[in-house]
Amino acid sequence: MKYLRLYAGEDGESHVEEMHAEFNMAMYAPPAPTFGVSDPTDAKRFVMVHFPSGWDSELHPAPRRQLFVMLSGQFQGQTSGGMLMDLGPGDAMLMEDTTGKGHSARTMGGSEVYALMVHLE
């Protein structure tokens, strides 16, 4: 499974890279059959978020290290260097650009966006 990692470089600019989750077969919920499970990541809490149609932000850093999971709608993020990231339902982004210039984001296609933010720190 692929996901994106958004992070701040030593240059103060935000960058994005494609990451891949690795899965090991595990008996996660016996007696259900085994299925692929990734290594665990500690999380503190989560919030559900709603972005109305037409929402558009200036550059800003992530307020904390968090996992952004798209539930519905279309969203576009942009690094401070101009790289675009189009996101739709099921897409996930590990947001680690808590310093530097940050990123901007906007809803796309006249849609509202519902997402899950999992706070990792």
Q: What is the pLDDT of residues 30-60, one digit of tens each?
A: 999 999 999 999 999 999 999 999 999 999 9
Report yes or no: 38 and 25 within 8 Å, Cβ to Cβ.
Answer: no
98 burial level (CB within 10 Å; 0-12, 13-18, 19+):
middle
Q: CA gyration radius for the chain?
A: 16
pLDDT at 121: 81
For the chain, domain boundaries? 2-119
62-116 pLDDT, tens digit each: 999 999 999 999 999 999 999 999 999 999 999 999 999 999 999 999 999 999 9
pLDDT at 89: 98
* Dist. CA 119–CA 45, nearest whole Å: 5
CATH value of 2-119 in 3.30.465.10, 2.60.120.10, 3.30.230.10, 3.30.450.20: 2.60.120.10
